[in-house]
Structure 1
């Protein structure tokens, strides 16, 4: 079996495209990038990590890193190793003393962690050959979402959503169904 050649890369940007959010992985020194489509929460987490945005409560990636720190495990690197049936595969390489551990992980989670610890990121050369696009083809509208751009609104929206959900629960408890329907419609708009 042929060994997969990995090349060093970087998290170039997180972009919003007509197909959804994508994290773009760019091999170092290359004019190409591999778009990996991810969910909005994962995009937000990666952006927060890249920008060093403090959050009031730990997000999942922060929690995972806290557990690693408490157990004296460090993240050595992230590898994006495979593209099979339009699904990307990655792994986290960890170090605990003299032991090395490898964990299977979704690329979005691996990159969320890498964005916080600034560890090296590697990608299989075959993936770059198969799935990369020229960076000059990425429009200004798609590239460089900033953490305070749409995602700060998401945090405010999340707070509003929680308040609305509580109000909805209260309206149902008091049998004020007209008010409950109005709140439900507001929630659906969010």
Structure 2
């Protein structure tokens, strides 16, 4: 049975980035491990960060609208052999329902932009859910400001590289920080 959920947060763990999907009112959250680009896209959507050009998820929302389909919800439907499955549910003007198989990360990237409901199957929560109290607030990355989150991460990496005198890596990270500030020029103003 599907239950309504929320995109609780994005966390960085030893295994990589995870988006935590939490059923409404539950003390459990399901960590779904995703790539860095997917995490960044979700964070941009959660933070309502304006982009100069549409990203892929924005493009899909526009495409749905132009084709006369309305985004109803996304569903995280299954967990099989360590892989999560999701669907995007659309309705057409004639009442027909369209179901599109999708990766959870793409579904979530679309959902956070469209502000549509998110559902998760209870069996997925039973199998993969963790207690929200198990998520350390020290390692939790709250997704309210993606620019600041990424800037902090890169600054920490830069400090570690300098500490071990890996100046080549430090230069690469410095360049990433520069590109980040060029991509999000308003970020420094928002941080204050």
TM-score normalised by structure 1 residue count: 0.77
- Runs of 4+ in structure 1 off by over 3 angstroms are 150-154, 185-190
Q: Secondary structure at the match of 2:26?
A: coil
CA deviations over 1:95-152 (Å, ceiling 9, x no partner)? 1111110000000000000001111111110110110111111112322143122436
The 1:74/1:151 distance shift into structure 2, 3 A limit, reads: farther
Aligned equivalents of 2:152 and 2:63: distance in 1? 29
1:19 to 12, 15, 25: 15
> Which structure would you say has the larger Rg?
1
Aligned equivalents of 2:43 and 2:57: distance in 1? 12
Aligned equivalents of 1:75 and 1:141: distance in 2? 35
Tell me which residue corresponds to 1:149: 148
How far did residue 17 of structure 1 move? Answer: 1.0
May I ask how many residue pairs the two structures share in their alignment? 160
Alignment of 1:134 with 2:131, yes or no, is: yes
Unaligned runs of 5+ in 1: 155-182
Alignment of 1:80 with 2:79, yes or no, is: no
How far did residue 187 of structure 1 move? Answer: 5.5
Q: Secondary structure at the match of 1:149?
A: helix
1:121 to 110, 118, 121: 118
2:103 to 106, 111, 115: 106
Unaligned runs of 5+ in 2: 154-167, 177-192
Q: Secondary structure at the match of 1:140?
A: coil
RMSD over aligned CA atoms reads 2.4
